[in-house]
């Protein structure tokens, strides 16, 4: 963690937030949103996915979005990769960092990428080879890691085994995803412990959805466990098209407010974040889903804490 922040928040709205929207946002508009998020102090963004456009048409143009942003920013800019072909696309678009994603359960894996967990891991081997040859850093996400939309609670040992295999393939960070937003703090505690048992030296992060309203409790639990990497989406947008019942991500502004109110630095300006949220809502044609979006801005604490805790914007 750098001197300006105690936790690293990656905003995933341009990937996870948009993949479940009924409309597709043009690449240029996605670039504009990314620039505004960077100006608000974010230094880590998910900006797209190299996946089947038949399955996720909203991700069309991810190569153009990534290519544009890489040329003008030193931020961590992630795209998702599922196959060797996706890895090649990421490299050609100038990726410096990617995330590979594997479900911990066969039924969700089959629904999302058409193969079992074991097959998904096997076909990622060549993808890691492509990325490593190009000098691209690969992080991994176990999604889902806590609760499956089809099979219910996931044994921590299964999530841990998936994480271990991803690290063996070359992942340098492992993110654990509550894809359906049904995890509880106890499940977070148990699964984090199981994963740390098998990959004790690998940094962990959390990717949280808020279907059951537990995302902030889960984030706080994880922080108490020493985790300082969190995914969130501005406005609480998002959901998994392949996980029935999944709803939006934990909202970036809600997570920032929670941490700031506890004196934990994120490097993010809450007021600028609010403006990005409101502008994106206009583009999408519906209201944001975050808790703070329902709180008048003049209510004490609604702005997310003292802006003095926030680092300077990355982009002028």
The domain segmentation of the chain, as residue ranges, is 8-309
| Predicted structure pTM score | 0.91
Give the distance, in angstroms, between the CA of residue 290 and the centroid of all CA atoms in the same chain: 16
Contacts of 94 (CB under 8 A, 6+ apart): 66, 67, 70, 71
- Contact of 120 with 134, CB cutoff 8 Å: no
pLDDT at 308 over 90: no
Encode pLDDT of 77-101 as tens digits. Answer: 999 999 999 999 999 999 999 999 9
Q: Identify which has the larger pLDDT, 310 or 192.
A: 192
Q: Which residue has the tokens 């639990």?
A: 221
Q: Out of 141, 148, 240, 310, which one is annotated catalytic?
A: 240
How far apart are the C-alpha atoms of 25 and 8, rounded to whole Å?
A: 26
Q: Is 141 a catalytic residue?
A: no
Give the mean pLDDT of the chain. 91
At residue 114, what are phi and psi to the nearest 5 degrees?
85, 5
- pLDDT at residue 119 is higher than 60: yes
Alpha helices by DSSP H, listed for the chain, are: 27-39, 62-72, 84-92, 106-113, 117-133, 156-169, 185-198, 215-224, 252-261, 270-284
* pLDDT at residue 315 in the model: 32
Of 54-58, 228-232, 260-264, least confident by mean pLDDT is 54-58
The answer to whether the beta carbons of residues 279 and 39 sit under 8 Å apart is no
pLDDT tens-digit series, residues 251-271: 999 999 999 999 999 999 999
Task: Please name the residue that has the structure tokens 């889902």.
Answer: 144
CA distance linking residue 230 with residue 11, whole number of Å:
9
Q: Which residue has the tokens 């089947």?
A: 52
Tokens 């914007």 sit on residue = 313
For 312, phi then psi, to 5°, come to -70, 150
Give the pLDDT band (50/70/90) at residue 306. Answer: very low
DSSP assignments along 225-282, one per residue:
TT--EEEEBGGG----TTSTT--PBPBHHHHHHHHHHTT---S--HHHHHHHHHHHHH
Coil, helix or strand at residue 48: strand
| pLDDT band (50, 70, 90) for residue 295 | confident
Using alpha carbons, list the distances in angstroms from residue 235 to 184, 221, 278, 286: 22, 22, 8, 10
Of the candidates 30, 94, 83, the one whose C-alpha atom is nearest the C-alpha of residue 55 is 83
Considering just the CA atoms, what is the radius of gyration of the chain in Å?
18
Integer Cα distance of 66 and 50 in angstroms? 11
Question: Any idea which architecture 8-309 has in CATH?
Answer: Alpha-Beta Barrel (3.20)
Nearest to 63 by CA among 40, 44, 43, 79: 79
pLDDT at 152 over 80: yes
Would you state the pLDDT for residue 187? 97
Task: State both tokens at 110.
Answer: 């089959």
246 pLDDT above the threshold of 90: no
pLDDT band at 125 (very low <50, low <70, confident <90, very high): very high
């Amino acid at each position: 963690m750098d001197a300006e922040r105690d936790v690293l928040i990656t905003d995933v709205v341009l990937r996870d937030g948009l993949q479940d929207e009924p409309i597709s946002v043009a690449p240029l508009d996605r670039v504009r949103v990314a620039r505004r998020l960077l100006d608000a102090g974010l230094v880590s963004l998910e900006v797209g996915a190299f996946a089947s456009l038949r399955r996720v048409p909203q991700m069309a143009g991810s190569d153009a979005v990534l290519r544009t942003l890489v040329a003008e920013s030193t931020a961590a800019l992630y795209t998702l990769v599922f196959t060797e072909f996706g890895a090649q696309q990421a490299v050609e678009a100038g990726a410096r960092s990617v995330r590979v994603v594997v479900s911990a359960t066969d039924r969700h894996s089959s629904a999302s990428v058409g193969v079992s967990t074991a097959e998904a891991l096997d076909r990622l081997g060549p993808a890691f080879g492509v990325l490593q040859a190009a000098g691209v850093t690969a992080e991994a996400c176990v999604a889902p890691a806590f609760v499956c939309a089809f099979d219910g609670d996931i044994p921590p040992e299964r999530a841990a085994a998936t994480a271990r295999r991803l690290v063996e393939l070359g992942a340098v960070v492992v993110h654990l995803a509550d894809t359906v937003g049904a995890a509880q703090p106890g499940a977070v505690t148990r699964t984090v412990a199981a994963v740390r048992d098998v990959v004790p030296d690998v940094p962990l992060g959390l990717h949280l959805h808020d279907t059951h309203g537990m995302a902030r409790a889960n984030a706080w639990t994880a922080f108490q466990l020493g985790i300082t990497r969190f995914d969130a989406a501005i406005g609480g947008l998002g959901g998994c098209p392949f996980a029935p019942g999944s709803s939006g991500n934990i909202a970036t502004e809600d997570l920032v407010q929670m941490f700031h109110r506890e004196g934990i630095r994120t490097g993010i300006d809450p007021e600028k974040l609010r403006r990005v949220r409101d502008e994106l809502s206009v583009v999408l044609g519906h209201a944001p889903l975050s808790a703070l979006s329902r709180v008048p801005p003049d209510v004490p604490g609604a702005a997310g804490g003292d802006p003095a805790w926030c680092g300077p914007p990355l982009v002028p």
